Structure 1
Amino acid sequence: MPCSLLKPGDDRLSVDLRRTRDGRMALLVYSALDRLVKCCGDQQPWTVMPATDLEAIRLDTQYEIVFLDLEIPDEFRRRSGEE
């Protein structure tokens, strides 16, 4: 799952959410690490979470839709040194 640190030096993570064209908040989920790297780039921080945690994440973040193995366009991918 794409993520980032809440702030430098913090060990807590924040899952990456994306806004859809119709305004909904989407959670991006990848079925394997090779798919995450292919779809998000090799600079994307990530974490592994069990599917059973998705409801807790939904309650915390209020995401409305899940996208599986969605390819992120190059211009929206993280670059080296970006959080």
Structure 2
Amino acid sequence: MPMFPPVVYVPCAPAQDTDELTIDLRATGDGLLALLVYSAMDRLIEHCGAAQPWTVLLTSDLDRVRSATGFALVLLDVDIPEELRRTEEER
């Protein structure tokens, strides 16, 4: 299991019809729901792109987020392919 820093940077998705953000979960190739987290802001930008909305979470809060969202995996510092990254228009 990877060692997580005390805080992680988490990609978010714009919520429909509000100014709020929701945690961005991704489906893996085998159908599991994954939470992507990044160990530093520069890694989030490098791996997700500059247009990616984000929030900061305490690592200790990840279990609470799992209970609320049902994700099965936490993936650390994963690269998002260019064609799947959010654009400025999607912010």
- TM-score in terms of structure 2 length: 0.84
Cα RMSD of the aligned pairs, angstroms, is 1.2
- Structure 2: give runs of 5+ residues left out of the alignment: 1-9
- TM-score in terms of structure 1 length: 0.91
Q: Given the alignment, which residue of 3, 7, 15 partners 2:12?
A: 3
Matched-pair identity in %: 49
SS at match of 1:37: helix
- Structure 1: give runs of 5+ residues left out of the alignment: none
In structure 2, how many angstroms separate the alpha carbons of the residues matched to 1:78 and 1:23? 21
SS at match of 2:56: coil
Pairing 1:31–2:39 present: yes
Give the 5 Å matches for 1:10-49: 10-11=19-20, 13-49=21-57
Question: Which segments of structure 1 move beyond 6 Å, counting only runs of 4 or more?
Answer: none
Aligned length: 82
